[in-house]
């Protein structure tokens, strides 16, 4: 039964998210920030809140990005769904097999992939960036690019730890990119983590305001 679910659930998720994406009106803000990094041929780390991750599988489909995904059973379903969108998964997390996840990300970066991390995942607290993200950026010497999305039509799982969002069809979506954040050798990691969290919160607010404009 578990093997059957691992086969069926990702395909159903792929069909649903694709339908949502195809029926949504998508606007992008801050794209010039990502474009500037790519013109300079710089690899970078996407940072986004765990609650926003669903729509990114569509908006960044077939993007050359490798995303850190938990080793849990739920993470396996997420990784299989991402693969159907052409997104690579690096298995591991801050709570389970962190070393394996970090090694997979280093390999992916060397292979020409950008990276993706939910810095408050997989278990929270919501909206709190763990020090592992700035530590990784400092070690790899790559900038962090905050990203978010705002959805006009969505289901919010209010009892989940992060109020997880699932987009609904026929809505409007704003995808936003923030200013890249660099982590220098002498920087305090906790202070940088707070800076990243503030940047993500500001970007969230900007995307919501643009959605409502």
Pairing of strands 65-69, 144-151: unpaired
Domains annotated for the chain, with CATH where assigned, are 2-212 (3.40.1130)
Contact 102, 115 (CB under 8 A): no
Tell me which residue of 142, 147, 66 sits closest to 103, measured CA to CA. Answer: 66
Tell me which residue of 62, 26, 30, 65 sits closest to 150, measured CA to CA. Answer: 26
More confident residue, 123 or 208: 208
* Distance (Å, whole) CA 114 – CA 87: 11
Rounded mean pLDDT, 23-34: 98
Two structure tokens written together for 83 = 């693969």
Does 55 score more than 70 pLDDT? Answer: yes
Secondary structure element (H or E) that encloses residue 75, with its range: helix 73-84
Predicted TM-score of the model (pTM): 0.93
φ, ψ of residue 181 to 5 degrees: the values are: -120, 125
Rounded mean pLDDT, 166-179: 98
Q: How wide is the angle at C-alpha 165 spanned by C-alphas 193 and 28, nearest 5°?
A: 75
Contact 161, 124 (CB under 8 A): yes
The alpha carbon of residue 89 and the mean position of all alpha carbons in its chain are separated, in whole angstroms, by: 11
> Given this model, what pLDDT does residue 1 score?
66
> Given this model, what pLDDT does residue 94 score?
57
**37-41, 97-101, 126-130, 184-188: least confident range:** 97-101
How much of the chain, in percent, has pLDDT values that exceed 90? 84
Contact 59, 147 (CB under 8 A): no
> Given this model, what pLDDT does residue 69 score?
92
pLDDT tens-digit map of 64-107: 999 999 888 888 999 999 999 999 999 876 555 567 788 899 99
Split at pLDDT 50, 70, 90, the class of 122 is confident
* Distance (Å, whole) CA 30 – CA 132: 25
How much of the chain, in percent, has pLDDT values that exceed 70? 97
User: Collapsing DSSP states into helix, strand and coil, what is residue 25?
Assistant: strand
**42-46, 91-95, 176-180: least confident range:** 91-95
């Amino acid at each position: 039964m578990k093997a059957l679910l691992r086969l069926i659930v990702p395909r159903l998720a792929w069909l649903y998210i694709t339908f949502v994406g195809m029926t949504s009106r998508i606007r992008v803000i801050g794209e010039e920030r990502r474009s500037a990094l790519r013109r300079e041929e710089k690899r970078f780390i996407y940072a986004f809140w765990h609650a926003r991750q669903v729509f990114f599988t569509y908006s960044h489909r077939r993007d050359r990005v490798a995303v850190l995904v938990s080793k849990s059973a739920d993470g396996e379903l997420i990784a299989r769904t991402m693969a159907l969108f052409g997104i690579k998964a690096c298995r591991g997390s801050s709570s389970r097999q962190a070393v394996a996840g970090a090694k997979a990300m280093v390999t992916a970066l060397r292979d020409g992939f950008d990276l993706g991390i939910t810095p408050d995942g997989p278990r929270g607290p919501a909206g709190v960036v763990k020090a592992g993200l700035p530590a990784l950026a400092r070690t790899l010497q790559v900038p962090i690019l905050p990203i978010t999305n705002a959805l006009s039509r969505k289901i919010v799982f209010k009892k989940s730890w992060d109020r997880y969002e699932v987009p609904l069809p026929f809505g409007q979506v704003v995808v936003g990119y923030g200013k890249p954040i660099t982590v220098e050798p002498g920087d305090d990691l906790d202070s940088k983590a707070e800076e990243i969290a503030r940047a993500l919160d500001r970007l969230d607010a900007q995307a919501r305001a643009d959605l409502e404009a």
